[in-house]
Structures are given as C-alpha cells and as structure tokens.
Chain A
Amino acid sequence: MLKTELNFDSLIEGQELESLNKPPISKVQLVKYAGASGDFNPLHTDDASAQKVGMDGVIAHGMLIMGFLGQYVTELAGDRAETRNFRMRFGAITKPGDEITCSSTVEKRYEEAGEKFVSLALEAKKPTGEVVGTGTVLLRFQ
C-alpha cells in the first residue's frame, strides 16, 4: 500500500504524486482475471489462440491495467476522498512479465458548491517508458 493518503489542503496543481509499482503480470493472473471479470476471450489465456491472430502469445486484458490504476487511485483517496468519475484510454499492449508503474499528477483542485474536488491525470507505464494507458479520475474530498 502507498505511504501517503491525499490531503486536499496540501495538494498543488501540477504536483506529481507517489507512484505504485505492480509486480510482473503473470499468465496465472490473466486466467484469474478472465474468471473474475467474465472476459474469456482466449487472446488473454491461450497462447495458441493469441498466435492465430498474430501475437507472440497471450496479452493482458486492458481492463486489468485499469484495475491497477483503480487500486492506485483508491489507495491515494484513502479515507478522505471518494471517486466520482474514472476513465482510461488504452495504449500499448501488455504481456506476461511486464511490470507496470502507475503514476499521477494533480490536474485540477477546486471547490464547487461547498464541495472539494481534485482531478488527477493518470498514467500506466512499462519500465521502458512505453505508455499502456492514460486516464483521469475525479475525487471528492470530505
């Protein structure tokens, strides 16, 4: 888990936040994710099927990467904020063995109708710097 939980009062627009490093994606993880999510496309679980469509082998579900970002966002929000909106655009494909790092920057910090909001720009990257997903999340602080 991350060390820091966001605090509305101390956030500054443009600030980079602590990142989250996920362990390498494994084939077993993709099977578990297929079962838990209901996405049984064999592209994610069966090497032979993936090779038929031109891949070297299985690739990860895009939604697994969004799941990593969801974990990251929930840890950042901690007990102080709740998520109102969360979106992601899928980028480069990920494969078993890839280690994904989730990072974020404070995009906007504002108060509206007496409520406190922060939007974060999110990024999921491989160690090579290749971006596998970008997104935004809107948090409402208590």
Chain B
Amino acid sequence: MELDKSVIGLQGKVYNFEVEKRHIRQFAEAIGDPNPLYKDEQYAKDTPHKGIIAPLTFPITIGADGGDLPLQLDTKRMLHGEQEFIYYQSIRPGDRLQCQMKVTDLYEREGKSGRMQFLVIDTEIKDDEEQMVAISRMNIIYRSLTT
C-alpha cells in the first residue's frame, strides 16, 4: 500500500527517556570515540561544556526507544536514506527527556527503480521544562516492492 499525504502530522505518544552516564560511555565506546568528554567528569568540567555530554549521534538511541507512530509501515520497504540532527542544548547524564515522534513530510521522487516515496520522521526531544534539546530527523526511503 502506498502512503498518502494524510500521514503528515501523525504523532506518537510523549515518552520519557532518562540519560545514563553509562549509556553515554558505552555509546562512545561502540563508535570507538576516545574523547574524554564522554566519560571523564574532571576533564569535561574544564571544557566549555562544563561537564560530560553525549556524542552528537546519541539522539538516535532515543528514537529507537519509543517508536509508536500510529502508522503501519512495511520494514522490508524501508531504507534509512538520510539522518539529520538539529541541536539546541547538549544532552547530559541525568537528563530526563520528553520525546515524541512526528511524521513531518511525505514526498515522491522518480528514482532508478521507479517511483519512490520519502517519509520524514522527527523525534522531538525536550527537557523537563519543555524546552527543545534536539530534533532527530530521519529520512526514510519507502520503496515500491516490484516482485
């Protein structure tokens, strides 16, 4: 089934995400990122960040934690084409974040293998005072199944 423009504006429930120091450390380790900014409190305090922060791509873990959009998608057709992060504040250990997924766009392009649909899903990440922390924007290619 093809998606239509009516999916734009669909949103999931607001969910909470607690940022743990160990999670930040393990995420940086998996990337093989040796920056002490992600694990050494003493070091991080003396930087302009004034404490441990999460790596730039850490918000992807937040999107993976609560995807409950009221939308049936065929995962076999989905391809993560692009990813964008828009930053307002750093993410820090102990943060209690409020997150919500929203479908923000759907558009079509003619591709090599026929018509392709692109679905844009934002995960909005706010702090406990509802100030924006970051937006994680996924651009998903929704391929037609030709077989």
A132 CB → nearest B CB, Å: 13
Asked whether B31 lies within 8 Å of A85 as measured between CB atoms, the reply is no
- When the two chains form their complex, are residues B29 and A32 in contact, meaning their CB atoms are under 8 A apart? yes
Mask of A38-64 contacts with B, CB within 8 angstroms, 1/0: 110000000000000000000000111
The answer to whether A37 and B27 have CB atoms under 8 Å apart is: yes
Separation of A17 and B137 alpha carbons in the complex (Å): 27
Query: Does B86 belong to the interface (CB within 8 Å)?
Result: yes
Interface: B64 (CB within 8 A): yes
Q: A105 at interface (Cβ–Cβ under 8 A)? A: no
Which residue of the partner chain B has the closest CB to A31? B30
Task: Determine the chain B residues whose CB is within 8 A of the CB of A66 once the complex forms.
Answer: 57, 60, 83
Quick check: B35 and A29 within 8 Å, CB to CB? no
Number of interface residues of B (CB under 8 A): 29
A1 within 8 A of B: yes
Which listed residue, A33, A73, A85, A90, touches B30 by the CB 8 Å rule?
A: A33
A29-B30, A71-B33, A79-B47 given; A87·B84 CB < 8 A: yes
Ordered by A's residue number, 10 sampled pairs between the chains whose C-beta atoms are within 8 Å are A1-B34, A1-B35, A35-B30, A38-B61, A39-B60, A39-B64, A64-B31, A86-B57, A86-B87, A87-B82
Beyond contacts A62-B80, A63-B80, A79-B47: 18 other A-B pairs, Cβ-Cβ < 8 A, are A35-B30, A36-B29, A37-B27, A37-B61, A38-B65, A64-B30, A66-B60, A67-B33, A70-B55, A70-B57, A71-B31, A71-B32, A71-B33, A74-B35, A74-B55, A86-B56, A90-B81, A142-B48
Interface residues of A (CB under 8 A from B): 1, 22-23, 29, 32-33, 35-39, 62-64, 66-68, 70-71, 73-75, 79, 82-90, 142
